[in-house]
């Protein structure tokens, strides 16, 4: 691992590291915020998954999360959103290819060689973080938009691994919206039965853990009706008695202005669960 950035923030350290990701067959950047409490011993970890077009930089420079992480004594790990590099397959559109990994394991050419983001986030990255940083194995996960989709899917598919899950304006039913239909067709192929493994709404029926879900959604989000559809997820969660809190935030859009307004609530939500682990 090579540290490529380090900044003091809220008494802790905001770092960015580069490493070779075996599961992705490329080098990856990952941002790690270590609160002041990490100087005295291992701290729990929140994983934050970003949305389309983002890198590890968007969250650490725009969300204002460091002060809240320091307040609660939690680390935050924010990986990049996809494999990167000149040898990595890409697409001219913003919603496919580099910057649009969708946190799944691709099975179709040319994507399958590198786009194994599900394995990277669930297995390789936590093992790396826990081996190299003063953190415990108490984990939680959250994300925004495409990253909210990733956080919900990963939490639902891995019962017992995460102590809390939350999302900002997540893509909750990707099989039913244009972003997901395009990505899933490209990465997974046309067989829709293969898509269900990466669709949070579809996963609710067989979920064996009732981990409470917190979702914040802006009412003025341009993507609310066409791509996000949180009501679809809430209705399915209610059918299966899965606890979910959807907070509609009047006037807020899809941007980091929205995330920064409520990131404190989410970190407190995660910290409470992690401290009780």
Please give the Cα distance from 81 to 79 (Å, whole number): 6
Nearest of 206, 20, 210, 196 to residue 104 by alpha carbon: 196
Active site residue 166: no
Q: Which of 23, 82, 140, 145 is catalytic?
A: 145
The answer to whether 250 and 217 are in contact (CB under 8 A) is no
Backbone angles phi, psi at 100, to 5 degrees: -145, 55
What does the alpha-carbon distance between residue 227 and residue 11 come to, in Å, rounded to a whole number? 38
Q: Which one of the listed residues 254, 266, 269, 270 is annotated catalytic? A: 254
From the candidates 23, 149, 221, 269, give the one annotated as an active-site residue: 221
193 included as an active-site residue: no
Query: Are the C-beta atoms of residues 48 and 142 closer than 8 Å to each other?
Result: yes
CB within 8 Å of 53: residues ≥ 6 apart: 81, 94, 99, 100
Burial class of residue 211, CB neighbours in 10 A (0-12, 13-18, 19+): buried
Cα→Cα distances 56→38, 76, 121, 138, 213, Å: 21, 11, 13, 22, 24
Active site residue 221: yes
**Residue located via tokens 């969708």:** 102
Q: How far apart are CA 169 and CA 65, in angstroms?
A: 17
Cite the active site residues. Answer: 145, 221, 254
């Amino acid at each position: 691992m090579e540290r490529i950035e380090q900044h003091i923030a809220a008494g802790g350290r905001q770092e960015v590291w580069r490493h070779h990701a075996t599961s992705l067959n490329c080098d990856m950047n990952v941002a790690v915020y270590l609160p002041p409490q990490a100087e005295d011993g291992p701290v729990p970890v929140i994983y934050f998954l970003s949305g389309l077009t983002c890198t590890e930089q968007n969250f650490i420079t725009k969300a204002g999360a460091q002060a809240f992480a320091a307040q609660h004594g939690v680390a935050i790990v924010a990986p990049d959103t996809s494999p990167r590099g000149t040898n990595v397959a890409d697409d001219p559109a913003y919603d496919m290819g580099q910057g649009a990994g969708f946190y799944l394991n691709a099975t179709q050419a040319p994507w399958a060689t590198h786009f194994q983001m599900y394995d990277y986030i669930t297995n390789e990255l936590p093992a790396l973080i826990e081996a190299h940083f003063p953190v415990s194995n108490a984990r939680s996960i959250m994300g925004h938009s495409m990253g909210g989709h990733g956080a919900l899917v990963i939490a639902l598919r891995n019962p017992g691994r995460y102590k809390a899950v939350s999302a900002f304006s997540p893509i909750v039913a990707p099989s039913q919206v244009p972003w997901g239909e395009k990505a899933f067709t490209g990465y997974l192929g046309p067989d829709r039965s293969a898509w269900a493994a990466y669709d949070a709404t579809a996963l609710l029926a067989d979920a064996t853990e009732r981990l409470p879900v917190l979702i914040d959604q802006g009412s003025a989000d341009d993507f609310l009706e066409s791509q996000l559809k949180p009501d679809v997820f809430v209705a399915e969660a209610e059918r299966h008695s899965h606890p979910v809190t959807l907070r509609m935030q009047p006037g807020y859009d899809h941007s980091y202005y929205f995330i920064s307004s409520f990131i404190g609530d989410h970190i407190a939500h995660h910290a409470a669960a992690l401290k009780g682990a």
